[in-house]
A and B are shown apart, each in its own frame.
Chain A
Amino acid sequence: MSRIAVIDGIRTPFVKYGTDFDSLSAQELGRICARELIERSAIDPSLLDEVIIGCVGQPAEAANIARVVALLAGIPQSIPAYTVHRNCASGIESAVQAVMKIRAGEGQLYFVGGTESMSNIPMYYPKKMQNIFVELSKAKTITAKLKALGKIRPKLLFNPVVGLMKGLSDPVCGLNMGQTAEVLAKEFGITRQEQDEFALLSHQRAIAAREILREEIVPVTPGPAYKTTVMDDNGPRENQTIKALAKLRPVFDRHAGTVTAGNASQITDGACMMVMGTEEKCQELGREPLGYVKAFAFAGVEPDRMGIGPAHAIPMVLKKAGLKLSDMQAVEINEAFAAQVLACLRCLESEDFTRKFGYEGFTGEIPRDILNVNGAAIALGHPVGTTGSRLILTMLKHMQRNDLKYGLVSLCIGGGQGAAVVLER
């Protein structure tokens, strides 16, 4: 069977919540990225079979954001588009959708990716307040109107529901994401120091990789002010020290916790887009692809231990690919939280874990020098719907630069899942 290629890809800089991209909606970020990919890759968008884009916080004004992005980016109207949502793996899901559609014989060329503006996830009125507004709009007489207005309390007016925070909480177990990381830190006895050191490395590597990351970044000049042009990710801190990290207070468990803003991923805006297609399509277009998707896997885990997802998804995907962990020359595990990545590494190294879940032959040690070598979400940030796409793109570029055969990307997913993809060249 023909292999499925990632032909080309690009992303915007990843920019901290509320900073340079504050004025850009998710659809606008997606549009800029998608259009630039079309321009740079010179792939005729009318050849596409479909557009599939991941997004977690879909803006109310851009329902089915994939279609909005496609139209604004100048992809012909005749090409359909749909949005996928698998929480933090939405970007991966978009690529997986393309793989499955191609395998099913539905098409040969897909535009995939993710876009997220965490700066623009709205705050909204609580349900009680909404009811008052409805009552008000239905009220015909002045007295009825006054009656409705009389129900408004300051508490209702000034305590909006923060969409972003709701999105980062699990409605089933009731924990927010940081709290799930605390669960793992305690379960595996991961120290604050370990987590901070892991975080520091992420920053150091991201700073060192600045130049090479530019290969995958399109500079963005945010409108409507058009004042500055953002060339790089603004999350990595040049002068990050272990001392500074150690000073931060735990956020999710103030008294006994170890997870801080410093050893967790940053809340970030960004988009990433790729074109995927069959090997034949690549030849037809005369293109050398970045690489191929060899296999993918999703795993389900406990919602309150969602960060452990990769520890399951990785052996599962290796099994599907028929490869060993030691075959992987580079690995990206999304750094939602340092604690969560470290927990996964411990599981993968553990014989008990391997035996318990029947993963024999597909687990083992991941050396730090092949893991997240160009920094990851603790430094670069984690625009939830986009990260999955970035992992694939960053990995393929890394494999290309270093002429690697196999690479593995994986991430944990809010709600209790793990995703993993094996890439090859």
Chain B
Amino acid sequence: MSVKFSEQDKIGYIEFDQPDSKVNILSMDTIQQLDGIVSGIPANKTIKALVIRSLKPNVFVAGADISEIEKIVEPDDGVKKAKAGQDILNKIEDLKIPTVALIDGVALGGGCELALACLYRVATFNPRVRIGLPEVNLGFVPGFGGTFRLPRLVGLSESLKMILSGKPVDSKKALRIGLVDRLLPNAGLDDHLDEFLKSEVLKRSKKKKYPRIKKTGIIGLLESNRWGHSVIFKKSLKSVLEKSKGFYPAPERAVDVVSKNYYMSRTEGLALEAETFGQLAVTEISKNLVHVFYLMEKYKKLSVDGAEGIEPRTVQRCGVLGAGIMGGGIAQLMAAKDIRVRLKDINYEAIAQGYKAASKVFEKAVKIRKLNAAQAHEKMAHITGTIDYSGFAQTDFVIEAVVEKMEVKQKVFKELGDVVAEDTILATNTSALSVSEMASVTKNPSRVIGFHFFNPVHRMPLVEVITAPQTSTETIVSALALVKRLGKTPIVVKDSSGFIVNRILLIYMAEAGRLLEEVGDMERIDKVATDFGLPMGPFLLSDEVGLDVGLKVMRILEDSFGDRFKPVELFDKLLEKGRLGKKSGKGFYTHGQRRDSNPEVDQILQGRGFSEIENHTMENRMIYLMVNEAARCLGEGIVDEPQAIDVGMIFGTGFPPFRGGLLKYADKVGIKHIIEQLQKFKKQYSSDRFEPCEYLIKIKEQGHGFYNKG
């Protein structure tokens, strides 16, 4: 049983403790158990109050059962499921005796909604306390009364912030906004709870249910009348649309639900919520977001064969070679996680740049109050610069981020081999070069691994962990543990030119270049990409990354894989002019006060005959080539499953999560269709780059997609 009931000293206790699980989940089965208990309470005349708590550490109730939601295919089924939860929470709310939710850990989604149905909520000072409604992240709205009760409890503006961002609050914030009534210390928690019951709950001090805290100031004024409400709803909707760009309907619908059910009776309000939940839960977007959620959960904990029993190396000190954008970013990330960094470059000017890059990120963190000034200063102090290898003997992990030239990388690895301890892990942040070739010059190549971050390091959640044939399992295990500690998501990739992410991304960039030479309208191509859901178009992306950087990688890929990665002339001409992108002020665009397309691009293209290509053809050429390249990677065994590619593209390049990932999208479009299109393009443009690869043909012949292998 996941839920138990007991009585002691006239207090009833409902205790969650799901067997064989670290967390408590509100599955339909659990809800039924809960219903059985709650239904019996009105008849119980001895208990004077009811406490709902969890027996698991750091968890109250983690939410509804996502696998059950995933299986919903009919909106009515969703409505029914929501209603089942709503009904039992209503029963709790309607109990004549006071109810208290004791939250000592995560109370998310259904867990939060369960607590909202109680008369009182108390949390602990436990730093792991997180209370929130993350449903919109999965493409639907809360379904167990969250949209109805939370706005009434904490006010419109705070509740909309929580519901629309899906971001949970910690216990301090929960107290501040009136989401919980009191914070209790963990030491002697039961005694503190008793005291709270006696002094507050049992006295029946006639606490008004909503709201707990009277709002003052502008927010108070806005929340006091319907005109003010409409201002809040309008503002919320505007910011939601800005963020979602119309691709994610759930937050938008959530605003709609709250703006209506805020004025409805409970029955009506909950019915509207359930209906909306049902409609959203069956959408493809929601299914895709759930898919991505599972991918993330899986890959965050990624392990490799043979990892059992291997203790990962604890990294206390990390060496970083090269204080450029990547090196500085890596140093900052390490320092933020309290790893001491020795940052080496060839001169102090370069190191100053690294300090500056790291310090900027910390300054931003202070500005948005993620850190206070003292914390930021302390973390920044974890980074020290050097122009020799002093201090490297004490490092546990070294990442090189020097210039992308094999000779330089090999030189650096050779030098490192002489200065670091025998078991220090040597990692390269190369974006395309061979890890094995670098490893070959060190005394002990088994400790060499690729550790590929994405720019900007502090924001991009992916690390490609690249294993060469000689990389030891110990090294891989330690690298994966470090990725986890850095709060990033890893994919494990075999050593091959461009690995996964850059290889697939650059086939798209190369094609974007060809399209530009064909149609001459850069902004249109960028728009095709953003309309597809990519965070920015190929040319703006190039400006962000730097054309020199992108082109270098493209050449490496061209050397390895041939003409399909051949960059168009335009790229070289722009590079010659020094139009690298944002860092040089001009690239495909000019980056001044406002962004404009750079007229020089048109000048270079002048004299070419342009042809008209439809938007969806452009999209297909770019996206299907990516699918084809991804299939090649799978065929070559560079990654072991399509999930890795989807994780890589979503977290490394911002491939739209609502599409579920590149290969999930390909499956939806249909492999057969993609092959036909590629063949059509091949004929039309008489170019082998569109030749569907063997792997793609193979899965078509086997009659399945990248996933769902029959």
Contacts and interface: CB of A to CB of B under 8 A. Distances in A.
A219 interface: yes
A40 interface: yes
Given A39-B390, A42-B393, A221 B382 contact: no
Interface stretch (B14-22, B129-137, B304-312, B348-356): B348-356
Interface in B430-450: none
B351 A221 contact: yes
Contacts of A71: 378
A229 interface: yes
Contacts of A227: 352
B359 A229 contact: no
Interface residues of B, number: 23
Given A42-B393, A226-B356, A229-B349, 9 more contacts: A39-B384, A39-B390, A74-B382, A221-B348, A221-B351, A223-B359, A224-B359, A228-B352, A229-B352
A35 B352 contact: no
A136 interface: no
Interface of B: 340, 342, 348-349, 351-353, 355-356, 359, 363, 377-378, 380-382, 384-386, 390-391, 393-394
Contacts of B384: 32, 35-36, 39
B394 A42 contact: yes
A231 B352 CA distance: 13
Contacts, number: 49
Given A72-B381, A223-B380, A39 B342 contact: yes
Contacts of A74: 340, 381-382
A31 interface: yes
Interface string A368-388: 000000000000000000000
Interface string A102-146: 000000000000000000000000000000000000000000000
A229 B348 contact: yes
Interface of A: 28, 31-32, 35-36, 39-40, 42, 44, 71-74, 219, 221, 223-224, 226-229, 231
Contact of A229 (B340, B351, B363, B394): B351
A228 B347 CA distance: 12
Nearest to A230: B348
17 contacts: A31-B381, A35-B381, A39-B391, A42-B391, A42-B393, A72-B378, A73-B381, A74-B381, A221-B352, A221-B355, A224-B363, A226-B352, A226-B353, A226-B355, A228-B352, A229-B348, A231-B348
Nearest to A32: B384
Nearest to B380: A223
A44 B316 CA distance: 12
A224 B340 CA distance: 19
Contacts of A39: 342, 384, 386, 390-391, 394
Contacts of B378: 71-72
By secondary structure, the A interface counts as loop
B359 A226 contact: yes
Contacts of A28: 381
In order of increasing CB-CB distance, the 4 nearest A-B pairs are A39-B391, A229-B348, A226-B355, A226-B356
A44 B352 CA distance: 27
Contacts of B394: 39, 42, 44
A12 to B, nearest CB: 13
Given A221-B385, A224-B363, A40 B390 contact: yes
A223 B355 contact: yes
A231 B349 CA distance: 12
Contacts of A223: 355, 359, 380
A226 B359 CA distance: 9
B357 to A, nearest CB: 9
Nearest to A44: B394
Contacts of B348: 219, 221, 229, 231
A230 to B, nearest CB: 9
A71 B381 CA distance: 10
Contacts of A229: 348-349, 351-352
Nearest to A225: B356
Point out which of B348, B353, B363, B378 has the most chain A C-beta atoms below 10 A from its C-beta.
B348
Contacts of B363: 224
A40 B359 CA distance: 23
